[in-house]
Structure 1
């Protein structure tokens, strides 16, 4: 079993550097810091670096193995590399600035870099590992890109847009042990890699030809998705097809021999007919080919490289706990021998697309990376059944915290916690809308049971972007998107459908009431909660809407009312009047836990006696009525 990427990352780094003895001076660290600031200037969206990477310079970049600047890697008090992952960075990798550093490892995985492969990367002569995975780098990589990098051990380029041939200079890296170029558009033949103990991943490119013999012991899944690859560990290469002229020449050459031998063979064989030797070989091949396909379908396919690898048999042997049975299928908690826990979702209504489209959609989801999204780890494919594997989140769902039984001493979710939850939900939705622009409903099933909470009560969205692969009749019967007014009235969903679901979630969070229509099968709007809120706001004191378990204080009432207004604007029946997601997210981001002392708007929301009135809501100029 392989270790998780994070563990392998540091273990390999320690092994690489264990023989080095580096004692940086203060002047060294000052020089390194200046180079890092220079490097930062070539980047965009550096918000996560701004607090540390600035003047005045720190005295030491590292304290033992702990960095004093975010993103730095340290070993025994020495700066040894950069790990700038999941920071939203873009711009250019300024190799000139980096060449001034003792850089042994460089990782910019899961960011927004684009354009060509970093120019003159081989100027980083000490580099042992390079991680560029999950960006938008594109174009060809020059054949000599890695010339002279004799210390390089790991090259990870997966999930980008690289084209052209795999650079031959990779063959000149004597210490190379890990090469990952999956999910790009590389073409041509795989070079004849010779390095011992080399692990590769060439899956889902445009490669062709025979797999080199030295790589025949690799896992077959590392070559999937290349239509014209053959040879071990894939199917055998078919014999070359000769031209008609060559065939005629060969036939003419053997006809004489065949005629001469025919009489002899006839005399030998007429008494006893024997099967031709090659017949068994053909029969064997015909029975083995389906087995190969079954093996392919029977394996787990991983869409992330930062999780441990395990096979289906190990998953089946894991201790399992039934978590529940929902509209899509059953969920199980599986704890592997290593102690790592995963959730396995079983789906039977996922034959809306073919195998290749399903694989591509799952790989697309695997490339998503956001703190408010539950990452897809892997999947298992069979035509009649699919398994989706995700991380396990211990603290349960928002629905269980809002509506489940609590112990006598367990408090409910207070207002600051609920505000942080809805802000995180909004950020996760905004990310989905940005990364999945071609999907009409990027989430499609947003409800409180699909909002998980980690130990810090930060929200993590699950069950997102599954409508494209779910059978349409099943999706229409069970998914939240098809309970929106536009689906009921006009039989279609739009980019604003998720906004309706967000509005219902806001109302549920504020009122503590569960939208009962979500429990009903079939189509029909989840308007019961929204209608109730509207009636209370217009006919009674608005203060009756809010869940008493929020322990709301007077200083947060104005902010709660603002969120209530946002929820109702998201639940507008008229889709033309309904807010779009961008406006909803912006308004949610403006909310605070407490009202400001000089908040002029607060007085407009509060009637005499510090209670909200329906007039205050209707005076704000929005309507909530069925179109």
Structure 2
């Protein structure tokens, strides 16, 4: 055989220098592009995140912003969804901050927000920010600014809004701003809405000419002079509370000031009559003086018959009236036209019976003119409320009218303390009916009465929500001792809508709204905070158990009555939940369960899962005093128990 010729395998040709260079360049270009994209994305997100973190660092009590944490989520935005609480996004850009009802305070670091180029709206309403107006003109592209319901003070610079040509909405309501309304607002071409009510602005309203401006509210300030013609077609209520303002839509500027201060025609007639009687009153002054002297001597024996505490109440107030400031402090202001009038002297001379000492002060029962009996509550936790602010707020409360609200009849203002007068209610408060010592002749409240009380409380609370939409928690202090019962055991809510006037430090330790889970966890209250208080009240009415939340300084989940009820349900001991003294249940066992479920739904710790006011009203109104259909099915579905009628019959 011939020698085998080996097969030669041709080695691949080595790449040329040119090919190597091209490959290297291509790889390098890809690396550079990817690197640039990564750096760009990182830089963008880092800038947004860093800007927000710098902003949060300038705040105090920022627990509500705890998820602003790059470790949890490095991106504040994902498309149109905000990953960080209160952050509004559009196409992965931050275009808004909605940080409302969070208990935030501290300095607003506008400079940190300048780094957000797409920011168009900012709302920090209903927090506790204080100090001067923030320099928002640095955010020149903003379209809306909401700073209402804080504690900002001082004058706003006249050029505060210069250059903000995209600005459409500005809300500064219910702060403590002074000085004049900035004229720089008149140069904003797109301005649509202004809310400046509830401050202390002075001077004239700027001459707004923008055709885009369709709503303005400057009520309850200290403005004066003619209203600009451009605003003459606006709602007259937008200008009320400024007695020195004049011109359409208010009274003519030629109308005397004293008449302008009293817009309703009936009040104008009364003023004319009072002026006509002025000379007669002056002529009778000496007679009145002698009559008062005789009355004082006649009343002296009554003072000696009262207790030491009652004497202290009368004597202390006599001293205050006689301190040389009678003209400033010496009058009662009545809020109701259907009550017999009496003056402060009549009240101070009346025999007083101490009813008790509550969280805000003492209460007295006093008999005044023609056998009329009133309750006088002394409040010492309102001394940071200005005179005009107090008068204006009480004026609003005086307009409230609902069968389940105990009306405020009159009030007395003094810097150190305030007096609020209301009618005396014979049956006392719900707390004493539920937890007071009783005998066989005074049985506990039966089921129909308790259901009627719950319905009345809900109706009164719903009315407050509709009538006072600007107050975050319209009641704010709902508990069984603030629910009075009339002679027919209809409930009357009291101590309502006082939150805006209570010193914040006292409110945080005393008022029920500040004992809610959301305030304990996030330092804020919401529109659903009163719902939580209502839920606690419903459970108290059903169980007869006194809620420990009333006594604690803040919410304690371990001591929460709702937690106790849930535990009993899980242990299939629902029958032990209901008050043993509650009679009259009959065939209403399923209704008891329904109301128990509603109460628990009102006490959800998660505010988003908690019932809203509309749902509460609908569900409560559906309840009836007697309904026994499908008890087993209902109880199994709601509470995962299947013990039939027996478990509930043991409780009643």
TM-score w.r.t. length of structure 1: 0.53
Matching residue of 1:299: 331
CA–CA distance in structure 2, aligned partners of residues 388 and 185 of structure 1: 32
In structure 2, what is the Cα distance between the partners aligned to 1:512 and 1:599? Answer: 23
How far, CA to CA, are the matches of 2:367 and 2:380 in structure 1? Answer: 23
Q: Which residue of 1 aligns with 2:486?
A: 454
Q: 2:449 maps to what in 1?
A: 417
What do you get for the CA RMSD once the two structures are aligned? 3.4
Q: Return the match for 1:406 from 438, 443, 446.
A: 438
1:610 is matched with 645
Matched, 1:426 2:458: yes
For residues 185 and 332 of structure 1, do their structure 2 counterparts lie closer, same or farther at Cα, with a shift above 3 Å needed?
farther
Q: State the distance in 1 between where 2:473 and 2:645 align.
A: 40
Aligned equivalents of 2:530 and 2:274: distance in 1?
Answer: 50
1-structure distance, mates of 2:238, 2:527: 31
Which residue, out of 597, 608, 611, partners 1:579? 611
Structure 2: runs of 5+ lacking an equivalent: 1-235, 241-248, 280-321
Question: Which of residues 538, 541, 544 in structure 2 aligns to 1:509?
Answer: 541
Describe how 1:9-158 pairs up with structure 2 within 5 A: none
Which runs of structure 2 are paired with 1:349-364 in the superposition (5 Å)? Answer: 349-364=381-396
Query: 2:579 is matched with which residue: 528, 547, 553?
Result: 547
CA distance in 2, matches of 1:185, 1:339: 42
Change (3 A) 1:185 1:502: farther
1:142-197: CA deviation from partner (whole Å, max 9, x where unpaired): xxxxxxxxxxxxxxxxxx95999xxxxxxxxxxxxxxxxxxx9645466799xxxx
Q: Distance in 2 between matches of 1:213 and 1:461?
A: 37
Q: Contact conserved, 1:352 with 1:472, CA < 8 A, in 2?
A: no
Which SS does the other structure have where 1:555 is aligned? coil
Counterparts of 1:516 and 1:583 in 2: how far apart (Å)?
27
> C-alpha deviations, 1:339-384, integer Å up to 9, x for none?
0111100011113431111100000000000000000111000111
1:387 match: 419
Residue range with higher mean Cα deviation, 348-357 or 398-407: 348-357
Question: Matched residues in 1 for 2:252 and 2:539: separation?
Answer: 52
Instruction: Determine if the alignment matches structure 1 residue 588 to structure 2 residue 620.
Output: yes
Alpha-carbon contact 1:488-1:525 (below 8 Å) kept: no
- Mapping 1:142-541, distance limit 5 Å: 186=251, 188=253, 203=262, 215=275, 217=277, 294-521=326-553, 527-541=559-573
Q: Does the 8 Å CA contact 1:319/1:335 hold for their aligned counterparts?
A: yes
Of stretches 404-413 and 518-527 in structure 1, the one that deviates more from structure 2 is 518-527
Deviations 1:527-548 (A, max 9, x none): 5211111100111321110001
Cα separation, 1, equivalents of 2:619 and 2:642: 23
- Cα offset for 1:526? 8.8
SS in 2 for 1:338: helix
Distance apart, 1:307 and its partner CA: 0.9
After superposition, the Cα gap between the structure-2 partners of 1:397 and 1:475, relative to the gap in structure 1 and judged at 3 Å, is same
Provide the rounded CA distance (Å) in 1 between the counterparts of 2:627 and 2:253: 63
After TM superposition, the runs of 4+ consecutive aligned structure 1 residues lying more than 6 A away are 204-208, 211-214, 290-293
Kept after mapping to 2: 8 A contact 1:444/1:479: yes
Instruction: For residues 426-460 of structure 1, give each alpha carbon's deviation from its aligned partner in whole angstroms, at most 9, with x where no partner exists.
Output: 00000000000000010000000000000111000
Answer yes or no: is the 8 Å Cα contact 1:350–1:469 preserved in 2.
Answer: yes
Q: Distance in 1 between matches of 2:626 and 2:398?
A: 38
Shift of 1:594: 0.8
How much does 1:552 deviate? 4.8
Change (3 A) 1:557 1:392: same
Residue 569 of structure 1 corresponds to 601
Number of residue pairs matched by the alignment: 357
Q: How has the CA–CA distance of structure 1 residues 192 and 526 changed in structure 2, closer, same or farther, with 3 Å as cutoff?
A: same
SS of 1:468's equivalent in the other structure is helix
2: CA distance, partners of 1:603 / 1:378: 49
Change in CA separation of 1:163 and 1:608 when aligned onto 2, cut-off 3 Å: closer
Structure 1: tracts of 5 or more residues without a match: 1-159, 165-183, 194-199, 220-289, 614-627
Which of the two has higher C-alpha Rg? 2
Q: 1:298·1:382 contact (CA, 8 Å) conserved in 2?
A: no
1:373-419: CA deviations, max 9, x gaps?
A: 00011100011110001111111000000000113311110000000
Q: CA deviation at 1:517?
A: 2.6
Change (3 A) 1:291 1:519: closer
Q: Residues of 2 paired with 1:336 and 1:201: CA distance?
A: 34
Native 8 Å contact 1:484 1:526 kept in 2: no
